[in-house]
Structures are given as structure tokens and as C-alpha cells.
Amino acid sequence: MPVYEYEHIWDDCELCDYRFGVVQAVDEAPLEFCPSCGLNVRRVVSQISVVKSYTFDADKAAKKGFTTWKKSGIGTWEKIAGSGVDMIVGDPDSVKE
């Protein structure tokens, strides 16, 4: 459920903050009164957070010409899919963790 941000219409309240957030369903009506002090409030535009999830498909990337490696140890990567070398191995003395 989203968090909607509200602010007091008049800056009269000495009990609560000028702005506050409320978790509400999308189809729920906006608040008209502050739940703490009872003064009039309005919903305001604030930041949104959008999370897009996807799964990476190494074979799909390989079909588009990319090579995918997986870390198999410190300074060592092994190929999962695509053309290219089968393994990348770095000098253990020069690898930073």
C-alpha cells in the first residue's frame, strides 16, 4: 500500500508536524482532518518509489552477443553464457576485496 503525504492547511498546530505520512489503499478517500489534532489537512504530491523487478537471463544476453561471467572466487570469474574466454583469472596479489 502506498504512503500518502499530508500537510496542514494552516500552520496553526503546535502539537504535530506540518507534514506527515499515512499508509492508505489507492482507492481510499483522502483524509480531511489530521488524526492527531483534528485540524484540516490536504494530500500533497511527494516522492514516489517504483520498483521494477526482472530476472536476468544469461542465454538471452548471449543471443544478443554478450558474454556473462559469474564470480567463482577472489579474482576469478567463470563464463556462464556467450562467446569469449571460459575463465578470467586475476593476479591474487593485485586483487582488492
**pLDDT tens digit sequence for 55-85:** 889 999 899 999 998 988 888 889 999 988 8
Helix (H, G, I), strand (E, B) or coil at 96: coil
Domain that holds residue 66: 58-89
pLDDT for 75 equals 81
Residues 6+ apart with CB under 8 A from 9: 39, 40, 41, 42
Are 39 and 64 contained in the same domain?
A: no
pLDDT for 97 equals 58
**Does residue 23 lie within any of the structural domains?**
yes
Q: What is the mean pLDDT of residues 1-17?
A: 83
Cell of 75: 579474482
**Does residue 53 lie within any of the structural domains?**
no
Tens digits of per-residue pLDDT, 18-61?
888 999 988 999 999 998 888 899 999 877 777 777 788 999 98
CB atoms within 10 A of CB 54: 5
Are 68 and 37 contained in the same domain?
A: no
**Does residue 95 lie within any of the structural domains?**
no
Most confident of 15-19, 48-52, 90-94: 15-19
Are 9 and 36 contained in the same domain?
A: yes
**Does residue 97 lie within any of the structural domains?**
no
When divided into structural domains, the chain yields a total of 2
